[in-house]
Structure 1
Amino acid sequence: MATEKRERLLVEEWRDILAVHARTTCELDRELQAFGMCASDFEVLDILAEGREGDPACAFRVQELAARIHLSQSALSRLIGRLEKDGLVTRGMCSEDRRGVSVVITESGRSRHAEVLPVQRAVLARMLADRPQA
């Protein structure tokens, strides 16, 4: 009986996490639409703009982005294609592995990121404000 209750609580917690994620993503998509972006578009720009510690202008391999964005590689490739078409990122061959594709944020991408960042952070603050802390 105690095991069933723990499992039920675990499942309820999981479903709560999924619900918060879904509501937050929908709200982000709604707010970012005014900038011609969706939540995933901004997430890619955000990761690229942050760069790596000590190297904010670095390139990321598509595989690295896929692991952090939680999209399939094909979905991410389409997303990157849209961002590239809009002049926000550039793609190229990886210097260390010619089979890999690297992605770099452009100056236009940095400008768009800076413009949208306060909106995205405000949505996160609003949507996650009442969430219990772990």
Structure 2
Amino acid sequence: MSAGEKTDGRLWDGIVTLHGRVEHRLAKALQSRHGLGLSEFRALCRLSRADDGELRMQELADLIGLNQSSVSRLVARLESAGLTRRDMCPKDRRGVYTVITEEGRAVQEKAAPTYAETLTEALDEAARDPAIAPMLTVLRP
């Protein structure tokens, strides 16, 4: 194994560690304060920023890093809670969109400060870890 491969391996290990820590903190905070899963929050964020508040199911899956089956279950949960609704594509009746509702926007807006504060806290904490700090110094403005 070359020196570059070892360095890449350590860098990737650090990224995976950082990702796991931050994701855990975000998920815990959103669930405890808002009863919302992390993927649900991310879906609502992406929908709230999309044109007309709608995205094709596959596009949403790609944006939040889920497969088609997982995003279908996620959207079903959001629909059951009244946070999104499905709509058919007018040009292609096979195309299914998910559309954020006003209630979904309100939930996303209420949870956004929790997400932002928790993210900053988790990154600040990670910056105190000597194994991760150098990477954060480069990645974080």
TM-score where L is the length of structure 1: 0.89
- Cα deviation, residue 23, structure 1: 1.0
- 1:91-111 residue CA offsets vs partner (Å, 9 max, x unmatched): 121222211110111000010
Query: What percent identity do the matched residue pairs reach?
Result: 38
Q: Which amino acid aligns with 1:39?
A: L
Q: Is the aligned partner of 1:39 residue 2:35?
A: no
* CA–CA distance in structure 1, aligned partners of residues 123 and 95 of structure 2: 36
Residue pair 1:80, 1:89 contacting (<8 A) in 2 also: yes
The answer as to whether partners of 1:90 and 1:103 remain within 8 angstroms in 2 is yes
Equivalence map 1:91-130=2 (5 Å): 91-129=86-124, 130=127
Q: CA RMSD in A?
A: 1.3
CA distance in 2, matches of 1:122, 1:133: 21
Q: 1:64-83 counterparts in 2 under 5 A?
A: 64-83=59-78
1:133 counterpart = 2:138 = yes
Aligned AA (1:10): D
How many angstroms apart in 1 are the aligned matches of 2:5 and 2:89?
Answer: 46
* Matched residue count: 128
Q: What does the per-residue CA deviation read over 1:24-77, in whole Å, with 9 as the maximum and x for residues that have no partner?
A: 1111111011211111110000001112xxx3x241001111111111110011
**Per-residue deviation, 1:128:** 2.4
Q: Which moved more, 1:83-92 or 1:119-128?
A: 119-128
CA–CA distance in 1 between the matches of 2:84 and 2:39?
A: 14
2:84 is aligned with 1:85: no
Task: Flag structure 2 segments of 5+ consecutive residues without an equivalent.
Answer: 128-135
Contact 1:28/1:38 (8 A) holds in 2: no
Aligned to 2:19: 21
SS in 1 for 2:36: coil
Could you tell me which runs of 5 or more consecutive residues in structure 1 were left unpaired when the two chains were aligned. Answer: none
